[in-house]
Amino acid sequence: MLAAEGLGSDQPTKAAAIYPDEVAETYPEGAKYTIRVNAYERNTDARKKCLAHYGYRCAVCDFDFEHRYGQRGKEFIHVHHLVPVSSIGQAYEVDPIMDLRPVCPNCHAMLHRTNPPCGIDELAASLQESQGTSSDL
Ligand SMILES: [Zn+2]
Ligand SMILES: [Zn+2]
């Protein structure tokens, strides 16, 4: 019995609280990459408000899942948090319109390829640059 209780108390007690610097890993099904998202990107309420404002189109590459996949793609998009997590204090409250942007999983993975993530504009610029060169071929 003691051993079982010991196992139970092994669970981190802070797991239920949301800390600004909390980082969770999500593994999109079938994806080869890992996207690290923070608590703000998992906040469903903030996400809803962000998407109500921006819609479901990727802020980087303009990808629209419903346009591409029809009904199956309807209302599918990731939400990215723009504020560097390390600069967030305890009193911080996410602003769904200022701080969050809809992004497709590809762009989201690219944003998070560096830590801290690169900017949306920066990624959009490199995307345009590389598209420009590949269309020259
Ligand atoms: Zn995208
Ligand atoms: Zn993100």
State residue 53's pLDDT score: 97
Residue 91 reports pLDDT greater than 90 = no
Residues 113-132: tens digit of each pLDDT: 888 889 999 999 999 998 76
**Protein residues with C-beta less than 5 angstroms from the ion ligand 2:** 80
Residue 98 reports pLDDT greater than 80 = yes
Residue type, 52: A
Q: Which ligand is nearest to the CA of 78?
A: 2
Report the distance separating Cα 22 and Cα 50, nearest Å: 21
Q: Are 125 and 131 in contact (CB under 8 A)?
A: no
Cα(113) to ligand 1 centroid in Å equals 14
Residues 67-87: tens digit of each pLDDT: 999 999 999 999 999 987 777
Q: Are strands 78-81 and 100-103 parallel, antiparallel or unpaired?
A: antiparallel
Report the distance separating Cα 16 and Cα 134, nearest Å: 47
State residue 126's pLDDT score: 92
State residue 130's pLDDT score: 87
110 token code pair: 């690219």
State residue 22's pLDDT score: 38
Phi, psi of 88 (to 5 degrees): -90, 130
Q: Can you give the pTM of this predicted structure?
A: 0.70
Residue 105 reports pLDDT greater than 60 = yes
Cα(133) to ligand 2 centroid in Å equals 27
